Amino acid sequence: MAQSDVDVVVVGAGFAGMYLLHELRKTGFSHRLLEAGDDVGGTWYWNRYPGARCDIATTDYQYTWDPELHEQWQWSEKHAAQPEILRYAQFVAKKHDLYSGIEFNTRVDGAQWNEVAKRWSIHTSTGETITCQHYVMATGCLSVPKEPDIVGTEKFTGNVYVTGRWPHEGVDFTGKRVAVIGTGSSGIQSIPHIADQAKELVIFQRTPNFSMPAFNGPAPQDRIERLKADRVTYQHEARYSGTGVPLEDSTVSALSVTQEEAFVMLEEAWQKGELLSLGNTFMDSAINRKANDVVAEFMRMKVRSVVKDPEVAELLSPYKHGYGTKRPCMDTGYFETFNKPHVRLVDLNTSPIRSITETGIDFGKESMEFDAIVYATGFDAMTGAIVSANITGKNGVTLKSKWEHGPLTYLGLTSVGFPNLYMITGPGSPSVLSNMMVSIEQHVDWIRDTLVHMREQGFETIEPTPLAEEGWRVHCTDCADITIFQEANSWYMGANVPGKPRVMFPYIGGVGRYRLACEEVVNKGFLGFELAGSTKKQCNDGLVREVQPDVDMVLDFIATLNLPAMETMTPTEARAFSEASSAMRPSGPEVGEISDGVLPGADGELEYRLYRPATPGPHPIAVYFHGGGWVFGSHTSDDPLCRDLCAQSNTLIISVNYRHAPEAPFPAAAEDGFAALKWVHANAGALGGIADQIAVAGWSAGGNVAAVTAQMARDKGGPQLSGQLLLCPVTDGSHQHRSHIENGERFILTKSLMEWFWNHYATPEQRKSPQASPLLAASLAGLPPTMLVTCQFDPLRDEGNAYARALMQAGVKVEHVEARGHIHTSITMVDMLPSGAPHRREMARALRGFFS
């Protein structure tokens, strides 16, 4: 007789539930595992449609927790078919006696949290109520087929099949007229098999999908050898990789090679017959639309090369979504199927289904009769199975109502208001964007270790804090925002189910980065969780990821280079280093014209570079001062940023060099700035600009020069400025701000580098002058409208914030943007860091606004 009160109840006997069962036994937790089906295998139990096959290679799609399995189980193919994967699950279940611990044919109807007892009550389809301390949903991401959303589905009297609920005895379509609706992975895999049998096959396609041939055969020998040689390293690399398969991330931009070269590289990946290799060919295909187009066009070229009828080929070619933004597919003979005379493709965009009828389908202007209809229409993905399990947490709040506008989780594992509830591969974790085996094992390990920790430490409950959960939501959104995934109407975005909120459901930051975040949470004393026992409580509230994800990647990359700190260099060395780094950047957008010239500075000539918009002039002017700590940089060193500002704001940008320290210390830069402004004003017409529409702009030390120049223009009789645009400006050399300490290391501009700059530029006494520290001016009244951008992880953040506040207090019109998750340099990194683009758009808008 099973216990009605246990430590842990688990729902689902797929690969996640099976492994968790093994671990709960090992660690001595009492448990019950409930499964709706009558065997193990989860997705591989339900999805028995013809052609069902895994598209992660067998070298990677297998358990790692039992090393003996690698000797005892041999896969027959590179991409295993469903029957073989199901046999593998059964083999593992038998080997570890898991069957004895699973209650099959048992559904969970609902679960309630009892706040007094600190336990869950689980109600099952057998009429039993089980109570437990911990409740684990191992219900899979793609386990609830989408409700039919086509008119008349109930009318059809022929045979109806749903790919995700395929009859165990199989289906014989021989001699039948068959309709298949849906061309996602399930449709694409099953269609060639159905075509082999059917007398007539009509495929109803709403959206064509990208698919590549699996070229199935034996598992890749090189991968097998790597595994055999050093399984531990192989698995470690997989666990910290982007997708859960140990591939080296590409460092090649699709835009840095010709289309011919790109196609050669893609062909090489194509021949491997592995989805992840193809997707990994270029570093930017997921974040840059133009880079993605290169891959998409390659895929369309492949369709044209197979499908004989050019019109059909065109219909089968995706144009409306980028490669990978909807789950790409692996097939065996899919496109070839459309060359068969008894196979027809119907484009639902031009011939929509009017209704399913008793005998067939009415679509466009036609009616056709069928013996069978196959729905390959997908799943209520990621949340369907969890939400439909009727989970009620604290204060009677259901998970369904909490997630009405999108799932809210901490780490995709837990959710506020639902103590001791765990989701394996839940929304907000890499899950469907990863090799599921790797993600499943990581989640099971995390849950097991957490349960053991709680037991050892005397904690009864664990629940994330609202701050941590909201922080994770923001981080997940930040990760999605830098990609082009959100453009597609995919199930990743919930777009396939009418009424589902449109958010990115899986975590797209990568398997390794996700794992590091989970590890960090634990290592920091369960950061963002409240743990409570009868006599103790612990809560280390906080956020695990705050830096913008693309900025974080750049920081990690820079850390691997082991570069010498700039402040250990001489100014000459630092200048050479800075120039060499700048030479490797993308160039930035095209502008109408770029020309170089010289103008008179305070003590000799200064070089300048003029960026003219492509529109007819004359244009308003921004006199721009570059960054570089007064020590390095030049009129060309912020080239991509100046181009971007020019192109986006339709403003003439004149980037002026100024004399550098230590050769020309304070106040040389300030005096040059003012001299340059006066000259530009006097020569505005000749430059193609408008004399009474002039602003100053600058970044970092250049922001300091711009701010000081604006004060000098105010104090010395003009020119009258329309505005000042200050990006991470240096405003105060006189004392330490909190951000100097908080952000003093790791974020490129360090506290010690900033001190090195100041030491070259101005003495401690000189720093008290407003011409070095504009924040110290006696009055800021009368300065022009200001756009000031500060970055959360910049040592200069607080002095920038202080300047914005002081300007406002002085009555100046100020727009102050605090760029969340950014560092001192990130907003200038045009075409490198997508997360900076919205802020540059704001800067350009503000610049335009100065002149309106």
Applying CB under 6 A, the residues found at the interface with ligand NAP are 53-55, 142, 149-150, 163, 181-187, 189, 206-207, 327, 330, 348, 376-379, 432, 491, 496
Which CA distances in Å does 79 have to 55, 56, 74, 87, 417?
6, 6, 13, 14, 41
Q: How far is Cα 271 from Cα 281, in angstroms, rounded to an integer?
A: 12
In whole angstroms, how close is the CB of 216 to ligand NAP at the nearest point? 11
- Is residue 181 classed as helix, strand or coil in its secondary structure? strand
Bridge partners for 374 per DSSP: 161, 180
Cβ at position 518, least distance to ligand NAP in Å: 23
What is the smallest separation between the CB atom of 319 and ligand NAP, expressed in angstroms? 13
- The distance of closest approach from Cβ of residue 43 to ligand NAP in the complex, given in angstroms and rounded to an integer, is 8
CA dihedral of 24, 25, 30, 35, whole degrees rounded to 10: 70
Distances (CA, A) of 436 to 185, 300, 336, 430, 441: 16, 28, 30, 9, 8
Helix residue ranges per DSSP H, 47-148: 68-72, 82-95
Helices (H) and strands (E) in the chain, counts: 27, 29
Which CB, 201 or 847, lies closer to ligand NAP? Answer: 201
**Measured from the CB atom, is 183 or 250 closer to ligand NAP?**
183
Shorter beta-carbon distance to ligand NAP: residue 53 or 840: 53
C-alpha 93/C-alpha 657 separation (Å) is 71
d(CA 419, CA 257) in angstroms, rounded, equals 52
**Type of residue found at 212:** M
DSSP 68: H
How does DSSP classify residue 702? H
Tell the smallest beta-carbon distance from residue 436 to ligand NAP (Å). Answer: 9
* Least distance CB 144 / ligand NAP (angstroms): 11
Q: Tell the smallest beta-carbon distance from residue 834 to ligand NAP (Å).
A: 25
CB of 5 to ligand NAP, least distance (A): 37
**What do you get for the CA distance between the two ends of the chain, in Å?**
80
Q: Which helix (H) or strand (E) holds 362?
A: strand 360-363
CB of 432 to ligand NAP, least distance (A): 6
Helix, strand or coil, per DSSP, at residue 338: coil
- 762 Cβ partners below 8 Å, 6+ apart? 661, 665, 666, 733, 769, 772
**Residue facing ligand NAP at closest CB distance:** 184
The answer to whether the beta carbons of residues 493 and 568 sit under 8 Å apart is no
Tokens of 154: 């109930």
Contact 443, 471 (CB under 8 A): no
User: Closest approach of Cβ 514 to ligand NAP, in Å?
Assistant: 18
Pick the closer one to ligand NAP by CB: 163 or 317.
Answer: 163
Q: 649: which 2 tokens?
A: 């704001």
Q: Which is nearer to ligand NAP, 78 or 626 (CB)?
A: 78
- Judged by beta carbon, residue 315 or residue 517, the one nearer ligand NAP is 315
Smaller CB separation from ligand NAP, 330 or 574: 330
Q: What is the 8-class DSSP label of residue 159? A: E
Nearest to 322 by CA among 299, 305, 348: 299
Q: Between 183 and 243, whose beta carbon lies closer to ligand NAP?
A: 183
Question: In the complex, what is the shortest distance from the CB of residue 497 to ligand NAP, in angstroms, rounded to a whole number?
Answer: 9
β-pair type (723-727, 652-656): unpaired
How far apart (Å, rounded) are the C-alpha atoms in residues 98 and 694? 76
What's the token pair of residue 722? 């329309």
Q: Is the dihedral of CA 339, 340, 341, 343 positive or negative?
A: negative
Within 269-322, strands assigned E span none
- Residue 349 or 568: the one with the smaller Cβ distance to ligand NAP is 349
* Least CB distance to ligand NAP at residue 249 (A): 22
49 vs 747 by CB, closer to ligand NAP: 49
How many angstroms separate the CA atoms of 286 and 323, rounded?
Answer: 8
Q: How far is the CB of 250 from ligand NAP (least distance, A)?
A: 22
Q: How far is the CB of 63 from ligand NAP (least distance, A)?
A: 17
Half-sphere exposure of 334 (CA within 13 A, CB side): 31
Helix, strand, or coil here: 143?
coil
**Nearer residue to ligand NAP within complex by CB, 8 or 162:** 162
| Cβ-based nearer residue to ligand NAP, 142 or 762 | 142
Helix ranges, 369-413 (H): 384-387, 399-402
Q: Which C-beta is closer to ligand NAP: that of 55 or that of 639?
A: 55
Smallest separation, CB 48 to ligand NAP (Å)? 11
Closer to ligand NAP at the Cβ: 187 or 428?
187
Helix, strand, or coil here: 389? Answer: coil
Which residue is listed with tokens 């090393």?
A: 67
Closest CB to ligand NAP among 377 and 786?
Answer: 377
What the block records as the tokens of 534 is 């009868």
Helix axes 436-457, 511-523, angle to 10 degrees: 0
